[in-house]
Amino acid sequence: MTEKTPTSRRTFLKGGLAAGGALAAAPALAAGDPAILEVQPWANELGEGVDVKPYGTPSPYEAHVRRRNVPWLTADPVSSINFTPLHELDGVITPNGLCFERHHSGVAEVDPAKYRLMINGLVERELVFTMADLKRFPRENRAYFLECAANSGMEWRGAQLNGCQFTHGMIHNVIYTGIPLKTILEEAGLKTNAKWIMPEGADAAAMTRSVPIEKALDDCLVAFAMNGEALRPEQGYPVRLVVPGWEGNMWVKWLRRIEVGDMPWHHREETSKYTDLMANGKARRFTWEMDAKSVITNPSPQAPILHGKGKTIITGVAWSGRGTIKEVHVTTDGGRNWHQARIDGPSWDKSMHRFYYEFDWDGSPLLLQSRAVDSTGYVQPTKNELRAVRGENSIYHNNGIQTWHVNANGEAENVEIS
């Protein structure tokens, strides 16, 4: 009987590296490949019936594809962060169960029957909505990336974490279903001195941010679904704010209230946090947009090249909070020479883009980088170009170019280069 224990890709990888380049080709046996010659259990036995998994889960062979956290980053896992496994994903949509999480007082488990959204402040009518009310407004479907302002923040002083999941994984990209915030504000009726709104969360952190009225009336959504199903609890179930292109902190989850005012509130998450300290001791505030950025997800430290030299796919993701991605350039020699990558899949505004660069690897070490250019003409800078303006202590908004060093074995490492 054939061994039925799932062999993870990692076990495979372990064996592959130990055997050098032996896995570059399928086993060449005189009689042929046992995967073909022997009847496999799935070709012989009955599988599970349709009543076994009313809500499906990935193959057990994909058990390693999971969110990970870095315990030393924060004092407590309840006000903390975890990371999307970008190196295991393709295309542009992040599966709901793999979308990174960032909470300030853990996951609020809100009963939708007790969910209320209040609009108050400088409006003609202070209103309360139930879930049933919200689902009677006209809806929109839009794909947007949500990137934490602190994504790549641990890399300001140099190469620290070894894997794009950790260096770039505070991001996800899903299709939201929701009501334009403009519609709800119009329902309440804005007074003429309405200049700012303040969304507030229903969790114990009661997250608040100040958002200028122009953005609120432009493309913000009050969303109740992601990728076709209700929001996940960790993503704000039953309702969150969507603030396209802007730092993730502003996308208030478990949204309970929107106040309309005539000036910003300068709350904790826009003074103590989410302000960017410069080398001269002054700090930028209201740094809302997430600038154009990209990363090669494969190969990368958690996803080495296993097939040896020859045909090789370099792939990654690019995004910009100011529009679409127009071009992505890839270098294999540390930026001496660049190649146009191929963008494939949808090119939506303020959404993740997928790029590929196919080449023949000759087995020599590589210094891989990607460089995004967005629809405004902005070119993704190097980390050193950013540091020249900002120093090393601004924590947030690190969109510098990432470098992976690939050695002759195909293993990749997070490095910085001159």
Partner 1 sequence: TTAMAEPTGLGRPATPDEVAAWDIDVRPDGLGLPEGSGSVADGEPIFAERCASCHGDFGEAVDRWPVLAGGIDTLTSARPVKTIGSYWPYLSTVWDYVHRAMPFGDAQSLTADETYSITAYLLYLNDLVDDDFELSRENFTEVAMPNAEGFYPDDRTETAVWKNRAPCMTDCKPEVKITARAQVVDVTPDDPTSKHS
Interacting positions 254-273 with partner 1 (CB under 8 A): 256-257, 259, 261, 263, 265-268, 271-272
Q: State the nearest-atom distance from the C-beta of 257 to partner 1, in Å.
A: 5
Across the chain, which distance is largest between two alpha carbons, in Å? 83
Nearest partner of 258 among 223, 215, 216, 204, judged by Cα: 216
Q: Which of 209, 215, 240, 329 binds partner 1 (CB under 8 A)?
A: 329
CA pair distance 168, 370, nearest whole angstrom? 13
160 binding partner 1? (CB under 8 A): yes
- Amino acid 247 reads E
Q: Does 175 bind partner 1 (CB under 8 A)?
A: no
Residue number, 143 or 361, with CB nearest to partner 1: 361
Q: Does 336 bind partner 1 (CB under 8 A)?
A: yes
Binding-site string for partner 1 from residue 83 to residue 122, where x marks contact by CB under 8 A and - marks none? ---------------------xx------------xxxx-
Closer residue to partner 1 (CB): 2 or 271: 271
**Gap between the Cα atoms of 42 and 317, Å rounded:** 35
Query: Footprint of partner 1 on residues 193-222 (CB under 8 A)?
Result: 198, 200, 204-206, 208, 213, 217
Site for partner 1 in 137-156 (CB under 8 A): 137
d(CA 141, CA 178): 7
Q: Pick the closest to residue 150 from 406, 393, 380, 344 (CA basis).
A: 393
Main-chain phi, psi angles of 70, to 5 degrees: -125, 95
Cα atoms in the Cβ-side hemisphere of radius 13 Å centred on 136: 6
Residue 327 forms beta bridges with which residues? 373
Of 74-82, 89-97, 227-235, 353-361, the window that binds partner 1 (rule: CB under 8 A) is: 74-82
Residue 45 CB, nearest distance to partner 1 (Å)? 27
Q: Which of 115, 288, 355, 357 binds partner 1 (CB under 8 A)?
A: 288
Q: Compose the 365-394 pattern: x for residues touching partner 1 by CB under 8 A, - for all others.
A: --x---x-x---xxx-x---xx-xx--xx-
Which is closer to partner 1, CB of 240 or CB of 397?
397
CB 195 within 8 A of CB 262: yes
Q: Among 89, 98, 143, 163, which residue interacts with partner 1 (rule: CB under 8 A)? A: 163
Q: How far apart are CA 8 and CA 15, in angstroms?
A: 11
Instruction: Determine how many CB atoms are found less than 10 A away from the CB of residue 31.
Output: 7
Structure tokens at 36: 């073909």
Of the chain, the end-to-end C-alpha distance in Å amounts to 56
Decide whether 174 or 184 has the Cβ nearer to partner 1.
184
Does the footprint of partner 1 cover residue 71 (CB under 8 A)?
Answer: yes
Q: Residue with structure tokens 């999941």?
A: 165
Do the beta carbons of residue 103 and residue 84 sit within 8 Å?
Answer: no
Q: Show contacts with partner 1 in window 22-61 (CB under 8 A).
A: none
CB of 19 to partner 1, least distance (A): 12
Which member of 23, 70, 107, 230 binds partner 1 (CB under 8 A)? 70
Binding pattern for the stretch 396-415 against partner 1, x by CB under 8 A and - elsewhere: -x-------x-------xxx
